[in-house]
Amino acid sequence: MKRVAVTGMGMISPLGCTEDTIMDKLRSRTNATAEYQELYEYKNMNCKMAAMVTDPLPELPRKKARGLGRIGKLAVAATQEALSDSGLSDDPVIHETCTGIAYGSCGGTMSGLRDTAEFAVHRDTTCLNATSYVQIMPHNAAVSLSIFFGIHGRLIATSTACTSGSQAIGYGYETIKNGLATIMIAGGAEELNPFTVGVFDSLFATSAGTDPKLSPRPFDRTRDGIIVAEGAGTLILEDYDHAVNRGAKIHAEVAGFATNCDASHITNPSSEHMEQCMRLALESADLKPEDIDYINAHGTGTLAGDAAEGSATFRVFGKSVPVSTLKSYMGHTLGAAGALEAGISVMMSRRGWMAPNLGLSDPDPACGDLDFIRDDGRCIRPKYIMSNNFAFGGVNTSLIFRIPDQR
């Protein structure tokens, strides 16, 4: 079995698009939630807030960019940064079949969905065009990367809602671990649109607050739902020996991964199977619970989700491991969440400081008696960290990273 290194990272997030910007935002302890003016145009919408990528995306060659929707542009921007960070941008190995893609999103881009809706309402094929299906197909982000960067190896497209990005990293890791690829471009992307907010709003899962600074509030007794967000995160995964031989910078090593299904309810989470997933990830990494130094929680801010996750985490780890969730800063980036949160957790680990939970003034006992990081954050030099994500459909993921000693 091969070891798998993380040699490049690219994060396009509501907190910013560079490591320094993101870390500065985390240290300032302010979130990226803002009013989403377009939501005021929709009747009966309770939520009026979201978290958007406000930094301009890099200019892309017109010929290559003309077929990309917002989700594709986010994915390409994150991947450009990750490839540059890895030193592989101009390496011919990128175009060989030993380099592949594992990338996810909840679906495609909004323009295609709008075409489909108009076709259904008006029953008129002129509402559709040559790119309508291409824009909405679940593997839009993965294929956009393949075409833009000229990637010829295997392509794994994950579309498992909030675990899309983390499953992609996990499957990319397993592909290299089993000797089926040398490099995998792994991650997830999601674009913000009123439809996504509306879907969660109809489930009474969004925050209906009026002060952006106070939403969301994961694990707090007064939490009232998620803040929908957008972004993209890309990790370059690489055969560890290949990375060492070319003198690559190694951010982290993927040490373990697990995914499972609740197989019980489409939206209500199963705490039992969340617990099982974390234990399977530990088994995959040949670690014990006490070996984990930090957990980045899924922590969406919903009543049922946070309680199920928190209690499951407590049953595995007790109060021995510091826990925080990045969604309290940048909202729920859905298909991008697993990749952004894993990447930023690695960033924090390498700097020896883990961000506190925002808005957590009164921890809900139903979420477990966990060591929630609060106030000014926590100075930690972790060896092993865990990043968890849980999705509609009862899909659970848990990733474990080993952080190289920075001293």
The domain made up of 4-402 has a fold known as Peroxisomal Thiolase; Chain A, domain 1 (3.40.47)
Instruction: Give dist(CA 388, CA 298) in Å, integer.
Output: 6
Q: Express each pLDDT in 318-357 by its tens digit.
A: 999 999 999 999 999 999 999 999 999 999 999 999 999 9
Asked if 17 contacts 77 with a C-beta cutoff of 8 angstroms, the reply is yes
Q: Express each pLDDT in 81-91 by its tens digit.
A: 999 999 999 99
Residue 343 pLDDT: 98
pTM of whole model > 0.85? yes
Q: 45 is written with which tokens? A: 């919408």
Residues with Cβ within 8 Å of residue 266, at least 6 apart in sequence: 392, 393, 394
Residue 291 pLDDT: 98
Over residues 143-148, the mean pLDDT reads: 96
Query: Which pLDDT band, with edges at 50, 70 and 90, does 112 fall under?
Result: confident
Q: Tokens 């993921």 — which residue?
A: 397
Residue 302 pLDDT: 97
Over residues 155-162, the mean pLDDT reads: 97
Q: Express each pLDDT in 287-313 by its tens digit.
A: 999 999 999 999 999 999 999 999 999
Determine which of 64-73, 162-171, 321-330, 365-374 has the lowest per-residue pLDDT on average.
64-73
Q: Residue 134, Cβ neighbours under 10 Å: how many?
A: 18
pLDDT cut 90: percent of the chain above it: 91
Active site residues: 162, 298, 332
Q: Express each pLDDT in 32-83 by its tens digit.
A: 999 999 999 999 999 999 999 999 999 888 888 887 899 999 999 999 999 9
Q: What is the mean pLDDT of the chain?
A: 96
Residue 66 pLDDT: 80
Q: Express each pLDDT in 174-189 by its tens digit.
A: 999 999 999 999 999 9
Q: Does pLDDT of 92 surpass 90?
A: yes
Q: Across the chain, which distance is largest between two alpha carbons, in Å?
A: 64
Q: Does pLDDT of 407 surpass 60?
A: no
**One-letter identity of residue 132:** S
Residue 65 pLDDT: 84
Identify which of 160, 161, 159, 207 has the alpha carbon closest to the alpha carbon of residue 334.
161
Domain ranges of the chain: 4-402
Q: Does pLDDT of 259 surpass 90?
A: yes
